[in-house]
A and B are shown apart, each in its own frame.
Chain A
Amino acid sequence: MRRRTFLKVTGMAGILAAHRAPAFAQGTKLHVLRWNDFIPACDVELKKQAVEASKLLGAEVQFEFINANDLQPRITAAIQSQSGPDIIHMLHNWPHLYENGLVEVNDLAEWQGKEQGGFYAQSEAYTKVGSRFMALPHSIVPGLIAYRKSWLDEVGATTFPKTYDDLRAVGAKLKKKGHPYGQTLGHTFGDAPAWAYPLLWNFGGMETDRSGKTAIDSKGSVEAVKFMQAFWKDACDEGGLAWDDTNNNRAFLGGEISATLNGASIYIAAKRGQEKIKDDKGEPLVRDILHARLPAGPGGSWSYHTAFAHGVMKYTKNVKLAKDFLKWFHGAGPYGRWFEVAEGFSIGSTKQWERAPLWNTIDEPMKGFKTAADNSRVIGHAGPPSGKATEVYSKYVIVDMFAKGVQGTKAEDAVKWAEVELKKIYG
Chain B
Amino acid sequence: MGESGVKKPIAGGAGDAVGAVALPHPRTSRPARQGAMLENERLLAAVLLAPTVLLLGVFIAYPFVMGVWLALSSTSVGNPGQFVGLKNFIKAFNDSIFRTAFWNTVWYTAWATVFKLVLGMWLALLLNRNFRGKRLVRASMLLPFIVPTVLSTFAWRWMFDPTFSVLNWLLYRTGAITTKLPFLSDGVYGMWCAIAVNTWRGMPFFAITLLAGLQTINPDLHEAASLDGANGWKRFWNVTWPLLKPVTLVVVVFSVIQTFSDFQLIYVLTGGGPANSTHLIATYAYQIGVATGLLGEGAAISLFMLPVLFIVVWVQLRYLRRLENA
- Using a CB–CB cutoff of 8 Å, the interface residues on chain A facing chain B are 72-73, 75-77, 79-80, 97-101, 185-187, 237-244, 247, 250-251, 254, 256, 391, 394-395, 400, 403-404, 407, 417, 420, 424
Instruction: Please encode chain B, from 282 to 320, with 1 for each CB lying within 8 Å of some chain A CB and 0 for all others.
Output: 000011111111110000000000000000000000000
Instruction: Please encode chain B, from 257 to 281, with 1 for each CB lying within 8 Å of some chain A CB and 0 for all others.
Output: 0000000000000111111110000
B288 contacts across to A, CB distance below 8 A: 395
Name B163's contact: one of A187, A239, A391 (CB within 8 Å): A239
B186 and A241 contact, CB distance less than 8 A? yes
Name A394's contact: one of B79, B183, B275, B293 (CB within 8 Å): B293
Complex CA gap A225/B147 in Å reads 43
Name A80's contact: one of B162, B190, B295 (CB within 8 Å): B295
A256 contacts across to B, CB distance below 8 A: 163-164
A238 and B272 contact, CB distance less than 8 A? no
Contact sample, A vs B, 5 pairs, CB 8 Å cutoff: A80-B77, A97-B293, A242-B182, A247-B163, A256-B164
A407 contacts across to B, CB distance below 8 A: 186-187, 274-275, 277
A79 and B270 contact, CB distance less than 8 A? no
Instruction: Please encode chain B, from 88 to 131, with 1 for each CB lying within 8 Å of some chain A CB and 0 for all others.
Output: 00010001100000000000000000000000000000000000
- Nearest-CB distance from A399 to chain B (Å)? 8
Closest residue of A by beta carbon distance from B292:
A394
- Given contacts A76-B289, A407-B277, could you give 20 more A-B pairs where the C-beta distance is less than 8 Å? A72-B292, A72-B293, A76-B290, A80-B295, A99-B78, A101-B77, A185-B275, A187-B271, A237-B163, A239-B182, A239-B184, A240-B185, A242-B274, A243-B162, A256-B163, A395-B292, A403-B273, A403-B274, A403-B275, A424-B95
A239 contacts across to B, CB distance below 8 A: 162-163, 180, 182, 184-185
B162 and A97 contact, CB distance less than 8 A? no
Closest residue of A by beta carbon distance from B287:
A395
A238 and B185 contact, CB distance less than 8 A? yes
B272 contacts across to A, CB distance below 8 A: 187
B162 and A247 contact, CB distance less than 8 A? yes
Complex CA gap A163/B187 in Å reads 31
Complex CA gap A187/B162 in Å reads 15
Complex CA gap A202/B78 in Å reads 35
Name A186's contact: one of B163, B273, B293, B295 (CB within 8 Å): B273
B289 contacts across to A, CB distance below 8 A: 76
A77 and B290 contact, CB distance less than 8 A? yes
A247 contacts across to B, CB distance below 8 A: 161-163
Complex CA gap A240/B183 in Å reads 12
Closest residue of A by beta carbon distance from B94:
A424
What secondary structure prevails in chain A residues at the interface with B? helix
B275 and A241 contact, CB distance less than 8 A? yes
In the A-B complex, list the 4 residue pairs whose CB atoms are closest, starting with the nearest: A239-B162, A100-B78, A241-B274, A403-B275
Closest residue of A by beta carbon distance from B289:
A76
B78 contacts across to A, CB distance below 8 A: 79-80, 98-101
Complex CA gap A405/B180 in Å reads 21
Complex CA gap A341/B266 in Å reads 37
Please report the number of residue pairs spanning A and B whose Cβ atoms sit closer than 8 angstroms: 105
Closest residue of A by beta carbon distance from B163:
A251
Complex CA gap A72/B183 in Å reads 27
A186 and B291 contact, CB distance less than 8 A? no
| Chain B stretch 160-189: residues in CB contact (< 8 A) with chain A | 161-164, 180, 182-187
A76 and B163 contact, CB distance less than 8 A? no
Known: A241-B186, A243-B162. A400 touches B294 (CB 8 A): no
A237 contacts across to B, CB distance below 8 A: 162-163
B291 and A73 contact, CB distance less than 8 A? yes
Closest residue of B by beta carbon distance from A100:
B78
A187 contacts across to B, CB distance below 8 A: 271-273, 287
Known: A79-B77, A239-B180, A247-B162. A391 touches B271 (CB 8 A): no
A244 contacts across to B, CB distance below 8 A: 271
Known: A79-B77, A185-B274. A241 touches B185 (CB 8 A): yes
Known: A97-B77, A239-B182, A394-B292. A404 touches B164 (CB 8 A): no
Complex CA gap A362/B167 in Å reads 41
- Nearest-CB distance from B285 to chain A (Å)? 12
Give the interface centre of B164, B182, B292 by most chain A CB atoms within 10 Å.
B292
B183 contacts across to A, CB distance below 8 A: 242
B162 contacts across to A, CB distance below 8 A: 237, 239-243, 247
A250 contacts across to B, CB distance below 8 A: 163-164
- Nearest-CB distance from B154 to chain A (Å)? 12
A186 and B77 contact, CB distance less than 8 A? no
B295 contacts across to A, CB distance below 8 A: 76, 80
Closest residue of B by beta carbon distance from A69:
B271
Give the interface centre of A76, A97, A395, A407 by most chain B CB atoms within 10 Å.
A76
Closest residue of A by beta carbon distance from B189:
A242
- Nearest-CB distance from B87 to chain A (Å)? 12
B287 and A242 contact, CB distance less than 8 A? no
- Nearest-CB distance from A46 to chain B (Å)? 25
- Nearest-CB distance from B172 to chain A (Å)? 13
Complex CA gap A407/B273 in Å reads 12
B96 contacts across to A, CB distance below 8 A: 417, 420
A238 contacts across to B, CB distance below 8 A: 182, 185
A404 and B291 contact, CB distance less than 8 A? no
A254 and B182 contact, CB distance less than 8 A? no
- Nearest-CB distance from A75 to chain B (Å)? 7
B293 and A76 contact, CB distance less than 8 A? yes
A241 contacts across to B, CB distance below 8 A: 162, 182, 185-186, 273-275
- Nearest-CB distance from B49 to chain A (Å)? 30
Complex CA gap A247/B292 in Å reads 24
Give the interface centre of B187, B270, B276, B286 by most chain A CB atoms within 10 Å.
B276
A76 contacts across to B, CB distance below 8 A: 77, 289-291, 293, 295
Closest residue of A by beta carbon distance from B278:
A242
B291 contacts across to A, CB distance below 8 A: 72-73, 76, 394
- Nearest-CB distance from B297 to chain A (Å)? 10
Complex CA gap A250/B50 in Å reads 56
- Nearest-CB distance from A60 to chain B (Å)? 27
A395 contacts across to B, CB distance below 8 A: 287-288, 292
A242 and B77 contact, CB distance less than 8 A? no
Closest residue of A by beta carbon distance from B184:
A242
B290 and A242 contact, CB distance less than 8 A? no
- Nearest-CB distance from B4 to chain A (Å)? 52
